Amino acid sequence: MQFKKPLKLSEIADILACKFIGDSALVVKGINEIHQVQKGDICFVDHPKYYDKCLQSAATVIIIDKEVECPVGKGLIISANPFADFNKLGKKFSPFAKAEQLHSKEAEIGEGTIIQPNVFIGNNVRIGKNCLIYPNVSIYDNTIIGDDVVVHANTVIGSDAFYYKNRGSSREQLWSIGNVVVENGVEIGAGCTIDRGVSGSTIIGRETKIDNQVHIGHDTVIGEMCLFAAQVGIAGCVAIGKNVTLWGQVGVVSGISIGDNAVVLGKSGVGKSLDANKTYVGIPVDEARAKWKELALLRQLPGIIEKLK
């Protein structure tokens, strides 16, 4: 998320009431998670395992829970609780805005778009031309929908990221300040849920077609011309290429990538990144040919054991 106007490192430190290291006039333009930070962004880190990754990232300012050597050209904010302070910034610069009516006055709806009854349209939503939004769809704040998009009944676009920190007796949610971008020609089935990005965008690529009851997690980026069958579940921060097919009930873990033209057969569990132009199946997933051979050998196992007796 980008700030409406740039701030200085010292100003951010004052907001958080924290000590800082670095040039007080260092320019801060926005806040982002580590996997997508850019120059001018703030990110946070609260575990030694990720210190180097964060300190060496493109981030200009890092909220960190230990005083370490500050990289050249960067700034550090020393915090007892980086997760909570990152949330504090998110809530300050992107606070919750109460809906005052079913369709926000700030929403922009293109020519030829049909909005069926009981559709909720939040603040700063943009919907393109010639779309069809069926009844009871909820479109949360800041969602961007392109032209010629169809969204079927009871789908929710822009719900919060499923991202929590264990606090022992409770779980603290990371405040979601991103959005969802649905590109031209996408069709989304009934009863789907698409989470917005934590600080960036969850993106559904051009002409992708999504069946009923599909879930797409925060910050996942889906390429054009993909095809997802019913009950597919995709976790957060997944990068999916062009023309990928996921058949029914495929589950995909967070933080992996799936190459262009990959096909994953039904009920498979994807726990690793997949190459382009291959067909996969199974739990855990593997190339289909290898998996079929493996299953064929397993069927022969009882006979082999019987012969060895």
Task: Yes or no: say if 241 and 221 are a contact pair by the CB < 8 Å rule.
Answer: no
Task: Yes or no: say if 41 and 29 are a contact pair by the CB < 8 Å rule.
Answer: yes
| Total count of residues recorded for the chain | 309
Task: Yes or no: say if 115 and 96 are a contact pair by the CB < 8 Å rule.
Answer: no
Alpha-carbon gap, residue 85 to 156, rounded angstroms: 29
Cα 222 to chain centroid distance, Å, stands at 10
Q: Which residues contact 304 (CB under 8 A, 6 or more apart)?
A: none
Is 215 among the catalytic positions? no
DSSP conformational letter for 264: E
Alpha-carbon gap, residue 134 to 149, rounded angstroms: 11
Closest by CA to 21, choosing from 37, 10, 7, is: 10
Helices 9-16 + 82-93 axis angle, to 10 = 110
Active site residues: 218
